[in-house]
Amino acid sequence: MFGCLVILVNYCWICSLQLKVSFSTGTDWDGTIGEGTFAKVKFARNSETQQPVALKILDKAKILKHKIAEQIKREVATMKLIKHPNVVRLYEVMASKTKIFIVLEFVTGGELFDKIVNHGRMREDEARKYFQQLINAVDYCHSRGVYHRDLKPENLLLDASGNLKVSDFGLSALSQQVKDDGLLHTTCGTPNYVAPEVLNDHGYDGATADLWSCGVILFVLLAGYLPFDDSNLMNLYNKISSAEFTYPPWISFNARKLITQILNPNPTTRITIPEILEDEWFKKDYKPPVFDEKEDANLDDVEAVFKGSEEYLVTEKKEEQPATMNAFELISMSKGLNLGNLFEGEQEFKRETRFTSRSPANEIINKIEEAAKPLGFDVHKKNYKMRLENIKAGRKGNLNVATEVFQVAPSLHMVEVRKAKGDTLEFHKFYKNLSTSLEDVIWKTEEDMQEMK
C-alpha cells in the first residue's frame, strides 16, 4: 500500500519509541515530530495518494545492540492487529539496509497530557467523552487478545476533530504471552498508573490491569492531578496497593462511584468493562464506535522486515542543505494561523520552541554550539541538525535537546529547539539561557527593538 513512499529526511540520531506530534494541524512539513532513545518520527506522504503519515524510523544496529528486536516486532505486530477509530493505525512496515520504517497514522491534535497541563482539569462531560472512547478502544484491544500495559495521558493522542487515539504499544502483550497459570508476569508500565497486582509480582490479568490504568486516567481528567503520587517509590507503591487517595469536592457522586469501583485494589472484584458500559455516569451521551473491519491483518511484511527480506528494502534519499519551508507550511505550524504563537521566545509548558534568524545556516549552527558548551552540553552535529546532551543528570535523567534549521526564504531561517529527553522545566530553563547567548542571531522586529528600549 505504501511501498512507493518517498523518504525525504536526514537520518541523524535515532531516538524514541514514542509517537509525539508537535503541531495541532497537519502540514506538508518534512521535519521531525517526535524523538527519544531508539527512534525518530518524521512527517511523510504517500507519493501516489498524498496521504500524510507519521514515519517512525528505527536504527537496526541500536535495536540489535540493546536486544529489543523482539519487543519492537511485538509492538508492530500488535498494532497491525488493531483497526479501531480510537487506536492509532499502523499501515505498513518497511526497511533499508540500516533502518526500519514503520508507517503510522498521522495524528495532529497532540497528547491528551498536554491538554491537561495547559488547561487543567476538565468538565465532566468532556472527560466522559474521552473516557468513553478510551474504554471502547481498550475493550476492542482486549477482544483481540492485546493488553496495552502502559496506558497514561501521554500515550493518548487527539486527532484534528478532538477524538482520542491510543498509541505506543511498546509494552503491550499478546494473549500468547500468558503463562500456564493464565496470567502475565512482566512488571512494566508507569508507576503512578500501574495496578497493584502488577507490583506484587504474583502474576496479573492484562485486562483488569489495563482497566485500573483507565481509572487513574479518569481521575486525572476530572481532578487535574494524580490520585497516587509520592516522591518516595515505596510510599507510592503502598498508596497504590491500598488504593489510598481522596477526591476533590468538585467530582460528582456518580463519577466517584465509578472511579472507586475501577480503583479497587482487588482485581477479582474490580468492575469489568461490560459493567462499566452499563454504568449510569458512563452511559450519559454515549455513542458506540462505528467502523468497518474489511480485512484481516497481514503480518507478512513484519516477518519479512525483521528477517531482512530484500523485498521490503527501500532506498533513503538524504538532504545536504536545510529543509525548505514555504509560507503555507510555516503558517500551518502556528495555532489559529497566528504567527505570534510560532515565534514566541519561550512557550510555557511546550516541549519545543522556535525562533527566526537572518544569519546564514552554518553561522546559526556554530553559534548554538558555542552557546551550549558553556552550559554543560555535549554537541553532536550532522548537516543542519544538532543534538545537545547535558553532561549532568537532572530530575528525569540527562536533558537532551534536538535542534534543526529550516530555510523559510533565502535570507531567513527558522530554528526549532526541541526537548528530546529529560525534564520539561529544565528544558525551558536551558532555552532561556541559550536564547540570551543568541541575542545577536535571533531576528528582532522593529516592534521588538522598541520594547527593549
Please check whether residues 330 and 227 belong to one and the same domain.
no
Residue 148 lies in a domain: yes
Residue 272 lies in a domain: yes
pLDDT at position 239, please?
93
Residue 219: which CATH number? 1.10.510.10
Please check whether residues 71 and 209 belong to one and the same domain.
no
At residue 233 the predicted structure's pLDDT band, cuts being 50, 70 and 90, is: confident
Please check whether residues 232 and 364 belong to one and the same domain.
no
pLDDT digits over 167-186, tens only? 876 433 333 333 343 433 34
For residue 254, is pLDDT > 70? Answer: yes
Please check whether residues 95 and 157 belong to one and the same domain.
no
At residue 150 the predicted structure's pLDDT band, cuts being 50, 70 and 90, is: confident
159: nearest Cα among 110, 97, 200: 110
pLDDT digits over 421-450, tens only? 777 778 888 888 888 888 877 775 444 444
Residues in binding site for ATP: 56
Please check whether residues 74 and 138 belong to one and the same domain.
no
Q: How far apart are alpha carbons 248 and 117 in whole angstroms?
A: 18
pLDDT at position 18, please?
29
Please check whether residues 123 and 270 belong to one and the same domain.
yes
Please give the backbone phi and psi of residue 87, each rounded to the nearest 5 degrees, phi first.
-130, 135
At residue 337 the predicted structure's pLDDT band, cuts being 50, 70 and 90, is: very low
Decide if 289 contacts 72 (C-beta within 8 A). no
Q: How far apart are alpha carbons 368 and 311 in whole angstroms?
A: 42
Residue 311 lies in a domain: no
pLDDT at position 16, please?
26
- Domain boundary residue among 108, 134, 156? 108
Please check whether residues 267 and 337 belong to one and the same domain.
no
Residue 289 lies in a domain: no
User: What contacts 37, CB < 8 A, 6 or more positions away?
Assistant: 15, 16, 17, 421
Comparing 41-45, 248-252, 275-279, 365-369, which segment has the lowest mean pLDDT? 41-45
Residues in binding site: 56
Q: How far apart are alpha carbons 20 and 151 in whole angstroms?
A: 15
Query: Between residues 338 and 89, which one has the greater pLDDT?
Result: 89
For residue 3, is pLDDT > 50? Answer: no
pLDDT at position 226, please?
92
pLDDT digits over 4-54, tens only? 333 333 222 222 222 222 222 233 334 566 665 667 788 887 877 888 888
151: nearest Cα among 168, 126, 127: 168
- Domain boundary residue among 88, 108, 128? 108
pLDDT at position 171, please?
37
**Pick the catalytic residue: 30, 59, 114, 150?**
150
Give the CA angle between residues 354, 435, 401 to the nearest 5°.
60
DSSP-derived secondary structure for 211-247? HHHHHHHHHHHHHSS-SS--SSHHHHHHHHHTT----
Please check whether residues 82 and 142 belong to one and the same domain.
no
At residue 295 the predicted structure's pLDDT band, cuts being 50, 70 and 90, is: low
pTM exceeds cut of 0.85: no
For residue 326, is pLDDT > 70? Answer: no
Residue 36: which CATH number? 3.30.200.20
Q: Which residues pair with 184 in a beta bridge?
A: 204
Structure letter (DSSP) for residue 24: S
pLDDT at position 285, please?
93
Please check whether residues 54 and 116 belong to one and the same domain.
no
SS3 at position 432:
helix
Please check whether residues 264 and 126 belong to one and the same domain.
yes
Residue 344 lies in a domain: yes
pLDDT at position 129, please?
96
Q: How many domains does the chain have?
A: 3
Q: How far apart are alpha carbons 421 and 13 in whole angstroms?
A: 13
- Domain boundary residue among 268, 283, 298? 283
Residue 277 lies in a domain: yes
Please check whether residues 91 and 128 belong to one and the same domain.
no
At residue 122 the predicted structure's pLDDT band, cuts being 50, 70 and 90, is: very high
pLDDT at position 347, please?
44
Please give the backbone phi and psi of residue 209, each rounded to the nearest 5 degrees, phi first.
-70, -40
Residue 304 lies in a domain: no
Please check whether residues 255 and 358 belong to one and the same domain.
no
For residue 342, is pLDDT > 60? Answer: no
Please give the backbone phi and psi of residue 383, each rounded to the nearest 5 degrees, phi first.
55, -120
Q: Based on the residue annotation, tell me whether 150 is a catalytic residue of this protein.
A: yes
Residue 367: which CATH number? 3.30.310.80
| Structural domain boundaries enclosing 364 | 323-443
pLDDT at position 31, please?
59
Residue 34 lies in a domain: yes
